Amino acid sequence: MRRFTAPLAAVALTLPALFLSATDASAAPADKGQVLSSWTQTSASSYNAWNAARANQANWSAYGFDWSTDYCSTSPDNPFGFPFKNACARHDFGYRNYKAAGTFDANKARLDSAFYEDLKRVCDGYSGVSGTACDGTAWTYYQAVSVFGYTKAVDGSATA
């Protein structure tokens, strides 16, 4: 009977460590909020960091981010040929992830501002009449999410 005591003791000591490490591995990293915030600022560098992460989502799987998007919802993704699709995707990312974190209200205005800045950066690539049309369309999209985005994000009927 003595022969089994040492192996049983080793198993008894190993099991809690296995369960604790499994629990720790499934938890989101402590810096999830900081990463989310860094990817939802108004700057081009914030947009670029988010876009790089979006292209490599598997590298961020431990964070449990919601990368799903319906792009510009019921509005055209590329109105008048202006490529707003990626700006809409980042806006969805912010809305969905802050809503999941329970901090949407505190971040909505910044998310909408970041969306507008992303749209204006798209418009920077146009000049003359096209630039003016793009700027006006960007303003319209921004106003729409600023006014209507909250209702859709809170009631769950849409995200932006």
Q: What is the set of active-site residues?
A: 91
Nearest of 96, 99, 97, 77 to residue 88 by alpha carbon: 77
Distance CA 155, CA 10 (A): 52
Find, among 65, 74, 72, 71, the residue nearest to 99 by Cα: 65
- C-alpha 96/C-alpha 153 separation (Å) is 8
Q: Which residue has the tokens 């089994």?
A: 4
Tell me, what amino acid is at 60? W
**CA dist., res. 84 & res. 61, Å (int):** 26
